[in-house]
């Protein structure tokens, strides 16, 4: 099991991958990807019990669904660096004939992906379905899903929240990337989320909080969430992150939600991120 220090090193490499992927095609969503990097690294290299080779049905292993599919660069990086597909394939991101589509898809057969996402609000429902199947199959492993905070504007999310607690889906851990930003601006200006904790609680969920850009806190909170499964309630982690975390000029603004860095900005960003290639990145729980 990697230490937090090792996880931080992996995260640094993943952030480099994100910047390079988005830069090489001059397209994609770096802001949310960088903000969620620590969470995704902690998940794939520490918390998630997952198996290779990839199996779509995922029986006997933990499953992850990315609902906010636009942060595909961070997912592609952790998938490739944990052995799902060749690292060199990241260079095809968003290019013609690639398995690394702009938004994640099963259609091109990329290992690690179980459902397409990008049109927002759908991932939690799919995760609930997968969690139901595990319950029916008496499979004790867990289902994780990441959703954006702007994504909570979608009504389907609230349908899913209501149904998960009604059906006592207690093998599900949802994480909300609470960066307070969406395309048109701050969430408080576009569509206020109000008292997010009270909303989830009133829908029957157990609510945890964490700083999603502090590795030790992410690792500990994921462990805490795991310990709360099986108690008749679904679990949500409200994860505070900084959009663009790790690259100083991308942080704290919605500007970098869906903008690619130019050559100069790419170099400036990479200079801030330690290169950790060569580290043993493949980890199997």
Partner 1 sequence: MLTDFPVTGKKATRDGFGDGLLAVGEQHSNVVALCADLIGSLKMNAFIKAFPDRFIQTGIAEANMMGIAAGLATAGKIPYTGTFANFSTGRVYDQIRQSIAYSDKNVKICASHAGLTLGEDGATHQILEDIGLMKMLPGMTVINPCDYNQTKAATIAIAEHHGPVYLRFGRPSWPIVIPESMPFVIGKGILMQEGTDVTIIATGHLVAYAMEAVQKLKEQGISAELINIHTIKPLDEEIILDSVSKTRCVVTAEEHQCNGGLGDSVAQLLARKNPTHQEYVAVNDSFGESGTPEQLLLKYGLGPDDVIAAVKEVMKRKGL
Q: Is residue 59 near partner 1 by the rule CB under 8 A?
A: yes
Three-state DSSP at 182 gives strand
156 vs 216, beta carbon nearer partner 1: 156
- Between strands 185-186 and 181-182, the pairing is antiparallel
Closest approach, Cβ 129 to partner 1, in A, equals 2
- Work out which of 26, 51, 119, 202 binds partner 1, going by CB under 8 A: 119
For residue 190, state whether it binds partner 1 (rule: CB under 8 A): no
At a CB cut-off of 8 Å and minimum separation 6, what does 47 contact? 62, 144, 219, 222, 223, 226
Q: Does 132 bind partner 1 (CB under 8 A)?
A: yes
Q: Is 155 in the site for partner 1 (CB under 8 A)?
A: yes
Cα distance between residue 106 and residue 100, in whole Å:
10
- CA dist., res. 80 & res. 72, Å (int): 12
Q: Which of 127, 176, 210, 235 binds partner 1 (CB under 8 A)?
A: 127
65, β-bridge pairs: 145
Interface with partner 1 (CB under 8 A), residue total 39
Q: Binding residue for partner 1 (CB under 8 A) from 25, 91, 133, 207?
A: 133
Report yes or no: 58 and 113 within 8 Å, Cβ to Cβ: no
Check: CB of residue 239 under 8 Å from CB of residue 212: yes
What ranges in 145-279 are assigned the alpha helix state H? 155-166, 187-190, 196-202, 215-228, 263-271
Q: Is 136 in the site for partner 1 (CB under 8 A)?
A: yes
Q: Of 147, 158, 151, whose CA–CA distance to 183 is shortest?
A: 151
Per-residue contact string for residues 16-45; x = within reach of partner 1 by CB under 8 A: ------------------------------
Residues in region 166-185 near partner 1 by CB under 8 A: 166-167
Helix (H/G/I), strand (E/B), else coil: 147: strand
**Binding letters toward partner 1, positions 220-259, x by CB under 8 A:** ----------------------------------------
* Binding status of residue 57 toward partner 1 by CB under 8 A: yes
Backbone dihedral angles phi then psi of residue 143, each to the nearest 5 degrees: -120, 130
Nearer to partner 1, 120 or 269 (CB): 120
Task: Decide if 182 contacts 254 (C-beta within 8 A).
Answer: yes
Does 118 participate in binding partner 1 (rule CB under 8 A)?
A: yes
User: Quick one: 51 or 224, whose CB is closer to partner 1?
Assistant: 51
**Would you tell me which residues interact with partner 1 (CB under 8 A)?**
56-59, 63, 65, 105-107, 114-119, 121-134, 136-137, 155-156, 159-160, 162-163, 166-167
């Amino acid at each position: 099991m990697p230490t937090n220090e090792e996880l931080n090193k992996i995260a640094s490499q993943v952030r480099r991958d994100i910047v390079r992927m988005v830069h090489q095609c001059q397209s994609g969503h770096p802001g949310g990807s960088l903000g969620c990097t620590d969470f995704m690294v902690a998940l794939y290299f520490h918390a998630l019990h997952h198996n290779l080779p990839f199996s779509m049905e995922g029986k006997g292993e933990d499953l992850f669904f990315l609902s906010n599919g636009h942060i595909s660069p961070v997912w592609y990086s952790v998938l490739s660096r944990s052995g799902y597909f060749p690292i060199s394939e990241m260079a095809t991101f968003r290019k013609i004939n690639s398995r690394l589509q702009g938004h994640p898809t099963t259609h091109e057969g990329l290992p690690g992906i179980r459902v397409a996402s990008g049109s927002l609000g759908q991932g939690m429902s799919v995760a609930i379905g997968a969690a139901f199947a595990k319950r029916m199959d008496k499979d004790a492993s867990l289902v994780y899903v990441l959703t954006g905070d702007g994504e909570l504007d979608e009504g389907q999310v609230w349908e899913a929240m209501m149904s998960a607690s009604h059906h006592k889906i207690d093998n599900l851990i949802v994480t909300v990337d609470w960066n307070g930003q969406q395309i048109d601006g701050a969430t408080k200006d576009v569509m206020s989320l109000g008292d997010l904790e009270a909303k989830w609680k009133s829908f029957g969920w157990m609510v945890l909080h964490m700083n999603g850009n502090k590795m030790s806190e992410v690792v500990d909170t994921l462990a805490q969430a795991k310990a709360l499964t099986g108690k008749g309630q679904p679990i949500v982690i409200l994860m505070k992150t900084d959009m663009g975390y790790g690259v100083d000029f991308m942080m704290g603004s919605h500007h970098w939600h869906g903008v690619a860095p130019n050559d100069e900005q790419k170099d400036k960003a990479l200079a801030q991120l330690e290169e950790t290639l060569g580290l043993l990145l493949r980890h199997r729980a």
